[in-house]
Structure 1
Amino acid sequence: MQSFRSEIENPLVEKDILELERKIRLFKEGRVDEERFRSLRLARGVYGQRQLGVQMVRIKIPYGKVTSEQLHRIADVSDEYSRGRLHITTRQDIQIHYVSLDRTPELWSQLEKDDITLREACGNAVRNITASETAGIDRNEPFDVTPYAHATFQFFLRNPICQEMGRKFKMSFSATDEDTAISFMHDLGFIAKTKNVGGTEIKGFKVLLAGGLGSQPRHADVMYEFLETDLLIPTIEGVLRVFDRYGERAKRAKARLKFLVKDLGLDGFLTLVEEEKRALAYQSFPIDTIEFEKDIVFETENVPAVTIEDEKAYETWKETNVLAQKQEGLFAVGIKVHLGDFYTDKARLLADLVKKYAANELRFTLRQNILIRHVREAFLPFFYTELKKLGFAEEGYNSIVDITACPGTDTCNLGISSSTGIAAELERVLKAEYPQYINNKEVTIKISGCMNACGQHNMAHIGFQGMSIKSGNLVAPALQILIGGGILGNGQGRFSDKLVKIPSKRGPEALRILLHDFESNSNETEDFLAYYDRQGKTYFYDLLKHLSDTKNLTEDDFIDWGHDKNYVKAIGVGECAGVVIDLVATLLFESEEKIENATEAIKDKLWSDSIYHSYAAIVNTAKALLTGEGAKTNTHASIINNFDEVFVSTGKVTLEGTFADFVYQINKNEPTEEFAKRYAAQAAAFYKQVDIYRKQAVES
């Protein structure tokens, strides 16, 4: 593997990239365990693909915001290191597929030249911070949540408290009570609110805690009805500290925050969060919004002359794809991106268009689309003609024909059946047979290739989940049909009901049956969810039951959408923050690194960071010994309790008090210089004692 020379000016970022290169080299030399290496690369946005020998690289784009320069940079990187295709995710990220592992450090280095990171885009960390794509321009918003989403991203990026949690952690910011960032399905969701106190308007958030999708969806609890903005960062940190300490680590299926809160109860969890307050570096963290309140600047005032050839099509596009902003005379233009996939040649032309004629900002959306912001009314005809040339003027932005789907079996290890293939066919059916739905924004269709719900199928009005189905000795691709999910607003939502499993090739017929019945039997004032509730789950099961019969399958039923060969069920090992089983020596090596990190943080006068690095080193060191004994290490809390039982109470390891008292100094002390230095010294001494004990045990 050939080394590259980093040109990054930020020493912290440069160190990170060089560390990835070093670990790749050690892994290829057989000096780093495969599972540990997987954990490291995932935290750097490098994710194994279904196809052997190549990686998916996920680019972390906070709240989906990119400039022309950044989009050009992403396009250049995709051309150089991949195949020129960009994929927008349901978390407003960009994914690039088919990247060689050896080239990922260089790719990352190129992205950082325009302030774009891969750090913590995957892995057991705080994932991309999402937000309503209309934040800052929404006529109904109490205030712009963008500065708060940005501050959250910055504060927790590389933050030691959230680098090696039991599972991933997701947060969202909704601009209005419409809750378009779907707070109820996040680990932490925030909805912008204001209240009047003594004649003064105070900004804050309604806070939702411990929601999630996956195979066991859970509606988030209301943590606070109103949390003032200066308490946002301390509150998040408190939650993360508790999750890191008490969250499950051995059983991946039970390792999300939703399971911990369910076990502890909301009050029990909040009590633990309260106990962490003393340890926080900031009891209050005011967020500066000035940078986001600057005047909108345009490069040119000259409106290019254009001729609209089809006025009817133009008016339809304006009706379905153009939104009036709260800024007078400005509009946002939605681009429907089929399945979130677009190519670098068009990306560059779009970037140039946005820079010259808008205000150099677009946002990737939660429905895998693009929203151009700050388009002046006089420029709308020009934008329509230019976007039409790029194939970006298709009507139906955020409508029923704008189907959300994960990559499924195209690239994902966990995909069971093709989600993109069935999505393309359903869109074709809708456009050809149901043109009246082109601007229907009341019904959503979402598709996932497996139960993990990356396509958010179990919160859609109509959802499809990739599965397989047996017919004798043969296996065919299948779809689980779900109905009745949706966003209700103000932090309320509902999950869809599972109805019936059918062969995939019958998916379009299932959609036809549902839409026909809705048109024929719904009341004039009923929306889709009211119609579903009135008819009931059994009614819809009976409506679709005949499609589940596998006695009369044809040859075509054994070929998945988008394929020309018979279906083969092939599921790999998922890498979405998979739990790592560590060797004792590897754990002790990592403890050394954590102690070094604590020392470096002290040099930089980052007392709170140093303290958490020391805490992590102590717990990691204890885990190493417990692992050697075969004891349980499924949470930090259990490691602390079991170490006392196995090593301290038996006299194998000598401490001045209990191990629990030693470790839990972290939330009994304020993050001062004096405590940071003392705790780091204690962590180093503890490591030295354990290392001696371990060597003696091995020799004997």
Structure 2
Amino acid sequence: MLSGFATCPGLFYDTRAQDGILSRIRIPGGILDSKQCHAIADIADQCGGGYVDVTNRANLQVREIRTGIDAAVLKHLQDMGIGSRNSAVDHIRNIMTSPTAGIDLQELIDTRPFVQAWDNYIVEHPELSGLSAKFSVGFDGGGTVSVGDRLNDIMLAAVLVADSVYFRLALSIGPKGKPPVDLGILLPPDKCLSVLAALAEVYLTHSDPHSQRKQRLREVVNNLGCENYLQQVAQRLPFPLLKTNFTAVPVENKYGHLGIHPQRQPGLFYIGVVLPLGRLETKQIRGLADLAEKYGNGILRLTPWQNLLLTDIPQQWLIHVKSELVNLGLDFSASNLKSALVACSGNKGCASAATDTKADALKLAKYLETRVTLNHPINIHFSGCEKSCAQHTNSDITLVGVSLESDNKTVETYDIYIGAGDSNQKFGREIYQNVTVAELPRLIKQMLQVYKIQCPNPDETFGKFVNRYEIAQLKQLFSSTYSQKICF
């Protein structure tokens, strides 16, 4: 294992967590083949806790590692294409793209070659090791499954202008935690790599390579001013940056990848599989790899929503794949309560967390599954502290862990936020404080049932529904049965 300034977990960097050593494996674009899946399962069994977690950047995390991963094993993983070929840049955040790249019926351009080209560029330019470990790039192909709203330092999103495909350039500027801002710049696809390289070069020029705490790109751009930053980028390019007044319409389809969908390749389908809280037991990883090999093209695709896709399945095999998924203990229904349930590692894995988020989330799902039926996913996010590591965007319902002292005992509670807030409200609008774990299930059930009864439009999301009301009105709506406490 290497040492250095990297503070984010990586494959070649020891990162201590509450439950042991944590290793994060970068999976550019989230694409894995079946052999790589088996190799990762072996590592999780031999060195870790016998499971892996899919992250909100489509990485994989191996947790509960006891003594680290042997150098020979790391070399073997590199030879298999797992982790970066250049360990010096392995700490840089995973490159994000739509999990349906190349198979989406509506996409404008396949972004997989762009992911591969940028990953190759990073590997071949070791000076980029000076980038912040949180330096992040995303590509969106303009399809039905969009990643355009995900938090990235740089986002390149495909649009169609006068029958030609371009990428809109967006940068992370302004307040922390907000999506990248569209700069009104259109890039021809063949210019994207050059622009990314120039953006990174200017960033490095204004960063201290000896600083342990490296500035984020957002901070550098804010300090320089966006126009100044772009001027310095333009000076490094042999072509002008094309400004436009074009406005793109955002796509809202966060969980549209779940379930069974036709691909752009005739006769082939993909299945979006629900992973409860993004976790996969090693027997499930191996089982999915074998399914992909037997019925598809041997590929698994991880998603930024902590689920995965099995792709290239002929229609005649769909019934067999569905049956085998059930045998693996997995589901593929978008209305599954666990389909949009998110939780950080909680106090079992992180010293910063006040609550056992994963256990509380699963208990909530178990309580609700026989009491509430959903028409479409509702994003419920459990965060053990204010950092919000598991999900950086607003959810429908956010529960932030808070520990209280009562009668010389520590009581785990949650503050509850709903919908979207203003620029100063990181989690949305606060509606309840210090809700105990025992009180939580009945309250959430009541909130969801009121939404289903009161919402006149079945296609309206929970977030949009609650944003139509003031907090006092919502409390009154939700209060009818919340007075009675229950235990899990």
TM-score calculated relative to the size of structure 2 = 0.83
Q: Secondary structure at the match of 1:374?
A: strand
Q: Deviations over 1:337-365 (max 9, x none)?
A: 11122222232232122112211111011
Instruction: Tell me, yes or no, if structure 1 residue 511 matches structure 2 residue 477.
Output: no
Kindly state the Cα deviation for residue 141 of structure 1 after the two structures are TM-superposed: 0.6
Q: Does the 8 A contact of 1:407 with 1:420 survive in 2?
A: yes
Instruction: Tell me, yes or no, if structure 1 residue 237 matches structure 2 residue 203.
Output: no
Q: Does the 8 A contact of 1:464 with 1:481 survive in 2?
A: yes
Query: Separation in 1 of the partners of 2:387 and 2:87?
Result: 17
Instruction: Tell me, yes or no, if structure 1 residue 48 matches structure 2 residue 15.
Output: yes
Output the amino acid matched with 2:411.
A
Query: Separation in 1 of the partners of 2:237 and 2:156?
Result: 20
Distance 1:387 1:470, change over 3 A: same
Distance 1:75 1:524, change over 3 A: closer
Query: Separation in 2 of the partners of 1:351 and 1:202?
Result: 38
Show the counterpart of 1:531.
465
Matches within 5 A, 1:207-606: 207-210=169-172, 216-247=176-207, 255-277=215-237, 321-393=259-331, 395-396=333-334, 401-435=339-373, 437=374, 439-441=375-377, 443-456=378-391, 458-471=393-406, 474-485=409-420, 496-505=428-437, 506-524=439-457, 526-540=460-474
Q: Does the 8 A contact of 1:422 with 1:507 survive in 2?
A: no
Query: Separation in 2 of the partners of 1:432 and 1:418?
Result: 23
Q: Does the 8 A contact of 2:275 with 2:308 survive in 1?
A: yes
Distance 1:219 1:70, change over 3 A: closer
Query: Separation in 2 of the partners of 1:133 and 1:408?
Result: 27
Matches within 5 A, 1:43-82: 44-51=11-18, 54-82=20-48
Q: Secondary structure at the match of 1:152?
A: helix
Output the amino acid matched with 1:459.
N
Kindly state the Cα deviation for residue 87 of structure 1 after the two structures are TM-superposed: 1.6
Q: Deviations over 1:243-263 (max 9, x none)?
A: 3333588695x9322333334
Q: Secondary structure at the match of 1:433?
A: coil
Kindly state the Cα deviation for residue 183 of structure 1 after the two structures are TM-superposed: 3.8
Show the counterpart of 1:136.
102
Query: Separation in 1 of the partners of 2:276 and 2:482?
Result: 29
Query: Separation in 2 of the partners of 1:85 and 1:341?
Result: 7
Query: Separation in 2 of the partners of 1:127 and 1:346?
Result: 26
Q: Secondary structure at the match of 2:293?
A: helix
> 5+ residue gaps in structure 1?
1-19, 24-35, 285-318, 487-493, 562-700
Show the counterpart of 2:164.
202
Query: Separation in 2 of the partners of 1:546 and 1:470?
Result: 29
Distance 1:45 1:180, change over 3 A: farther
Q: Does the 8 A contact of 2:14 with 2:68 survive in 1?
A: no
Kindly state the Cα deviation for residue 265 of structure 1 after the two structures are TM-superposed: 3.3
Show the counterpart of 1:7.
none
Q: Which deviates more, 443-452 or 539-548?
A: 539-548
Q: Does the 8 A contact of 1:449 with 1:465 survive in 2?
A: yes
Query: Separation in 2 of the partners of 1:64 and 1:327?
Result: 20
Query: Separation in 2 of the partners of 1:80 and 1:220?
Result: 40
Q: Does the 8 A contact of 2:10 with 2:23 survive in 1?
A: no
Show the counterpart of 1:648.
none
Output the amino acid matched with 1:227.
L
Kindly state the Cα deviation for residue 383 of structure 1 after the two structures are TM-superposed: 0.9
Q: Does the 8 A contact of 1:90 with 1:365 survive in 2?
A: yes
Instruction: Tell me, yes or no, if structure 1 residue 96 matches structure 2 residue 62.
Output: yes
Kindly state the Cα deviation for residue 64 of structure 1 after the two structures are TM-superposed: 1.0
Show the counterpart of 1:39.
6
CA-atom RMSD in angstroms: 3.6
Q: Does the 8 A contact of 2:47 with 2:68 survive in 1?
A: no
Q: Secondary structure at the match of 1:482?
A: strand
Distance 1:416 1:242, change over 3 A: farther
Distance 1:159 1:397, change over 3 A: farther
Output the amino acid matched with 2:261.
L
Kindly state the Cα deviation for residue 65 of structure 1 after the two structures are TM-superposed: 0.5
Q: Deviations over 1:377-425 (max 9, x none)?
A: 1111111222222122453477664312222223234323222112102
Distance 1:503 1:495, change over 3 A: closer
Query: Separation in 2 of the partners of 1:231 and 1:323?
Result: 32
Distance 1:398 1:119, change over 3 A: farther
Q: Does the 8 A contact of 1:108 with 1:118 survive in 2?
A: no
Q: Deviations over 1:447-497 (max 9, x none)?
A: 2222222221651111222232344654422222221149xxxxxxx9633
Q: Does the 8 A contact of 2:173 with 2:221 survive in 1?
A: no
Distance 1:167 1:504, change over 3 A: farther
Show the counterpart of 1:676.
none
Kindly state the Cα deviation for residue 203 of structure 1 after the two structures are TM-superposed: 2.9
Q: Secondary structure at the match of 2:370?
A: helix
Distance 1:401 1:203, change over 3 A: closer
Q: Secondary structure at the match of 1:39?
A: coil
Show the counterpart of 1:603.
none
Q: Does the 8 A contact of 1:124 with 1:168 survive in 2?
A: no
Query: Separation in 2 of the partners of 1:545 and 1:84?
Result: 42
Higher helix share: 1
Output the amino acid matched with 1:57.
S
Kindly state the Cα deviation for residue 41 of structure 1 after the two structures are TM-superposed: 9.2
Residue among 24, 40, 49 paired with 1:83: 49
Kindly state the Cα deviation for residue 521 of structure 1 after the two structures are TM-superposed: 2.6
Aligned residues: 466
Higher strand share: 2
Distance 1:153 1:543, change over 3 A: farther
Query: Separation in 2 of the partners of 1:415 and 1:547?
Result: 30
Q: Does the 8 A contact of 1:58 with 1:118 survive in 2?
A: no
Output the amino acid matched with 1:195.
V
Q: Secondary structure at the match of 1:463?
A: strand
Q: Which deviates more, 173-182 or 36-45?
A: 36-45
Query: Separation in 1 of the partners of 2:211 and 2:407?
Result: 37
Q: Secondary structure at the match of 1:97?
A: strand
Show the counterpart of 1:151.
117
Kindly state the Cα deviation for residue 124 of structure 1 after the two structures are TM-superposed: 9.4
Query: Separation in 1 of the partners of 2:295 and 2:287?
Result: 12
Show the counterpart of 1:580.
none
Distance 1:531 1:332, change over 3 A: same
TM-score calculated relative to the size of structure 1 = 0.60
Query: Separation in 2 of the partners of 1:363 and 1:130?
Result: 12
Matches within 5 A, 1:643-654: none
Output the amino acid matched with 2:50.
G
Output the amino acid matched with 1:49.
R
Q: Deviations over 1:153-176 (max 9, x none)?
A: 221136334313355112222232
Q: Secondary structure at the match of 2:69?
A: helix
Q: Does the 8 A contact of 1:321 with 1:397 survive in 2?
A: no
